């Protein structure tokens, strides 16, 4: 049986520096039969020039619409029997496409294959990026196996399955992957596997990272409320309880002031419980980095858990007060 054509779709917005490494890695794939399509979402940097210098096909959205719109546009122009979505800030390992195709061909019930990242960043821009890389790598390792969400940075699926499920919801800029994963998981299995790997250029700017973490956590609330099968809900799993515990630590800091010094034990006890929620992750980090970095990692992770918990409160308020917010995941008619 001949190797099916794989259409690699690279959604991009202003990632020219990482895009060079992404396309170089795609050119170095061991899989012999692929086309590369860069779906540029109205970049204002030299992303298009970078893509054209690699001789790949470039298509452009008419207006900036987010990654869902860019992926949909790339898929529209794809001619392959397999779609391989690769974010422009990810450099896929040389065997990533070949391994994904082999998994899809071996199991017709498999709807999609998602990949993981190395625990080192693609471009080192500071400690914050190193924190994010280790944290994301571990979370994906912990989730490996069958999943009911979707990780789109490295994602392979048969084109016929994409046509059956329909495009990504173009109304969603931040949580389109989770929405698509739930739609896909109703009909097919989704596999998160270490066989498909890449190296990710994570965010290194704290303001941008906080914006993403807050926005995504807030926008997930309507999905938690309307779809009980959504993984990692507000009261399920150590990650969710970690965010709750982090916010509780801050709230209980006022107790010793109001009721006496003995109440100072309360935030300490809750903080200990907070650390316990992610103990395996801290061991993962400690095995790779110095004790000083582990302290930094714990501090940043605590701060971002507070951000996520605050975002959840904001999302719950939006759910209760705004009918429009509750309808966030209502899909347009053209999205199945």
Q: Is the pLDDT of residue 332 over 60?
A: no
Residues 218 and 143 in one domain: no
pLDDT band at 230 (very low <50, low <70, confident <90, very high): low
Q: Is the pLDDT of residue 117 over 80?
A: yes
pLDDT in tens, 39-80: 999 999 999 999 999 999 999 999 999 999 999 999 999 999
Answer whether residue 302 is part of any domain.
Answer: yes
**pLDDT for residue 335:** 47
Residues 32 and 139 in one domain: yes
Residues 187 and 210 in one domain: no
Residues 239 and 126 in one domain: no
Domain that holds residue 26: 6-202
Residues 54 and 177 in one domain: yes
Mean pLDDT of 178-202: 94
Residues 231 and 169 in one domain: no
Instruction: Indicate the pTM of the whole model.
Output: 0.90
117, 84, 113: which is closest to 3 by C-alpha? 84
pLDDT band at 227 (very low <50, low <70, confident <90, very high): low
Our CA dihedral for 308, 309, 311, 316, rounded to 10 degrees, sits at: 140
Give the CATH number for residue 72. 3.90.550.10
Which of 202, 224, 241 is the endpoint of a domain?
A: 202
Answer whether residue 255 is part of any domain.
Answer: yes
Tell me the C-alpha distance between 165 and 247, whole Å: 38
| Residue reference for tokens 């294959």 | 113
pLDDT band at 176 (very low <50, low <70, confident <90, very high): very high
Residues 271 and 314 in one domain: yes
Residues 195 and 214 in one domain: no
Answer whether residue 67 is part of any domain.
Answer: yes
Kindly report the average pLDDT of the chain as a whole number: 91
Answer whether residue 1 is part of any domain.
Answer: no
Residues 10 and 159 in one domain: yes
**pLDDT for residue 228:** 55
Answer whether residue 59 is part of any domain.
Answer: yes
pLDDT in tens, 80-115: 999 999 999 999 999 999 999 999 999 999 999 999
Looking at per-residue pLDDT, the higher value among 257 and 72 belongs to 72
Q: Which residues pair with 11 in a beta bridge?
A: 39
Q: Is the pLDDT of residue 336 over 80?
A: no
Residues 188 and 233 in one domain: no
Residues 171 and 47 in one domain: yes
Mean pLDDT of 300-322: 92
Cβ partners under 8 Å of residue 234, min gap 6: 221, 224, 240, 244, 312
Choice among 59-68, 216-225, 240-249, 308-317 with the minimum mean pLDDT: 216-225
Q: Is the pLDDT of residue 194 over 60?
A: yes
Answer whether residue 140 is part of any domain.
Answer: yes
Mean pLDDT of 323-330: 81
Cβ partners under 8 Å of residue 182, min gap 6: 148, 149, 223, 227, 229, 230
Q: Is the pLDDT of residue 236 over 60?
A: no
Which of 152, 173, 202 is the endpoint of a domain?
A: 202
Number of domains the chain contains:
2
**pLDDT for residue 257:** 83
The torsion angles phi and psi of 117, rounded to 5 degrees, stand at -120, 155
Residues 195 and 230 in one domain: no
Which of 202, 224, 242 is the endpoint of a domain?
A: 202
308 exposure class (CB count in 10 Å sphere: 0-12, 13-18, 19+): buried
């Amino acid at each position: 049986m001949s190797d099916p054509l794989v259409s690699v779709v690279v959604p991009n917005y202003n990632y020219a520096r990482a895009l060079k490494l992404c396309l170089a890695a795609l050119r170095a794939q061991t899989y012999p039969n692929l086309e590369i399509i860069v779906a540029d979402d109205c970049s204002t940097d030299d992303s298009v020039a970078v893509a054209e210098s690699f001789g790949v096909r470039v298509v452009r959205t008419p207006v900036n619409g987010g990654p869902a719109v860019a992926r949909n546009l790339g898929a529209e122009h794809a001619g392959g029997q397999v779609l391989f979505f690769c974010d422009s800030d990810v450099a896929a390992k040389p065997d990533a496409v070949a391994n994904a195709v082999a998994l899809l061909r071996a199991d017709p019930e498999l709807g999609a294959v998602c990949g993981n990242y190395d625990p080192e960043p693609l471009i080192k821009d500071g400690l914050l990026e190193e924190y994010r890389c280790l944290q994301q790598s571990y979370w994906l390792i912990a989730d490996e196996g069958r999943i009911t969400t979707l990780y789109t940075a490295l994602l392979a699926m048969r084109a016929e399955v994409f046509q059956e499920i329909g495009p990504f919801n173009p109304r969603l800029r931040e949580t389109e992957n989770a929405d698509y994963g739930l739609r896909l998981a109703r009909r097919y299995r989704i596999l998160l596997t270490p066989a498909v790997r890449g190296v990710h250029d994570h965010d290194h700017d704290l303001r941008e990272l906080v914006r993403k973490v807050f926005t995504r956590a807030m926008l997930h609330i309507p999905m938690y409320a309307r779809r009980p099968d959504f993984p990692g809900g507000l009261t399920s799993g150590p990650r969710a309880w970690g965010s709750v515990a982090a916010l509780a630590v801050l709230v209980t800091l006022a107790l010793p002031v109001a009721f006496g010094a003995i109440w100072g034990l309360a935030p300490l006890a809750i903080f200990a419980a907070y650390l316990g929620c992610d103990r395996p992750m801290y061991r993962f980090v400690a095995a790779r980095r110095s004790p000083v970095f582990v302290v930094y990692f714990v501090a940043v992770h605590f701060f971002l858990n507070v951000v996520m918990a605050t975002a959840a409160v904001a999302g719950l308020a939006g759910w209760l007060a705004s009918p429009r917010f509750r309808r966030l995941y209502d899909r347009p008619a053209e999205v199945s």
